[in-house]
Structure 1
């Protein structure tokens, strides 16, 4: 299978602008198949907001933890709806990754984020454009907005937010440039390893 090729097409310090421009790109997808949400949660309040927004979401420690006695992997097992803030703080930061239906809670997710790194991935298919030599390539096509990051794969935390277009596993720079132009952007640097 392999990974998609991700091109950064917008970088901004305004999360709302990044989300809005990513949604503009999503409107160009011929089909939207799945949406993935990921977030690093740094406060008890953020954990509670995500629990309310995504009932049943699984929380995981951001860094691997082991039981000090047995040395075995220690998963996160608190009930976030009943745990007090002090109990939650002892486990922070926490991560979530969740597949959701297209259009369901995505906008509320974007507006509920804190200062931790997060991402929204819209997997789909770009339309075929035979005259330009562009062909849709599911499961590699799509749009991604990374909040507080500049890498399509997990990377260092930044103040900025980055929008990526994913185009085939082999890359398609002309199509990426065309998509970037649609939102008044341009391809920013080298392609990256995508999803």
Structure 2
């Protein structure tokens, strides 16, 4: 079993520029089966309702915070709506339903490339979130001594954060390139491949590796 590791290659306060840059990198490895997913954390009811209007994706689900003891031994169909997860059209209308459920997460998975990226970027606002492209195909880099990569060829655009975990909000956005993790003598032996991939698009690795 193998894992991937991600390197930041671009950072800007302009979300549209961040998306354009991430797309350039994604297109470098895009293939027939490439897919895109998106995720955000919404810290207020107002932001939940705003996002629901901006992104009326039937595939997307809004899921509120909950404690494990709330759901133990409870049939799925009996769970509160925000615990089970609902599409935009299923969000509760009463504010009381959100008590104890913030932040609310919204996520959509495995969509065709180009299906969600523009509207999501326009709607993200101050919220942390990400767009993730996977099932890409990185090319061979014979001059750098690396074969191509498919299983771990991915690109992530993180909004309002510097880390994939989204744990420390910022006011700028970061693009990551993913490669296979291969550690030898405590070092990532495929890090030069990440540098090579970034350089093909005129980008530079700007920080240490992060694990998804």
- Which blocks of at least 5 consecutive residues in structure 2 are unaligned? 73-78, 183-187
Moved more, 174-183 or 157-166: 174-183
Distance 1:128 1:50 in 2: 42
> What TM-score results when the alignment is normalised by the length of structure 1?
0.82
After TM superposition, list the pairs within 5 Å mapping 1:25-174 onto structure 2. Answer: 25-31=25-31, 33-48=34-49, 49-50=51-52, 52-61=55-64, 63-65=65-67, 71-73=69-71, 77=81, 80-81=88-89, 83-84=92-93, 86-87=95-96, 89-90=98-99, 91-99=101-109, 100-123=111-134, 124-170=136-182, 172-174=190-192
Aligned length: 189
> What TM-score results when the alignment is normalised by the length of structure 2?
0.76
Q: 1:167 to 1:149 in 2, by over 3 A?
A: same
SS in 1 for 2:199: helix
Shift of 1:153: 3.2
SS in 2 for 1:192: coil
- RMSD over equivalenced CA pairs, Å: 2.6
Distance 1:7 1:149 in 2: 14
Give the helix-richer structure, 1 or 2.
2
Deviations 1:129-161 (A, max 9, x none): 334322232221111100011112343212221
Distance 2:126 2:11 in 1: 17
- Which blocks of at least 5 consecutive residues in structure 1 are unaligned? none
Q: 1:130 to 1:59 in 2, by over 3 A?
A: same
Shift of 1:11: 1.6
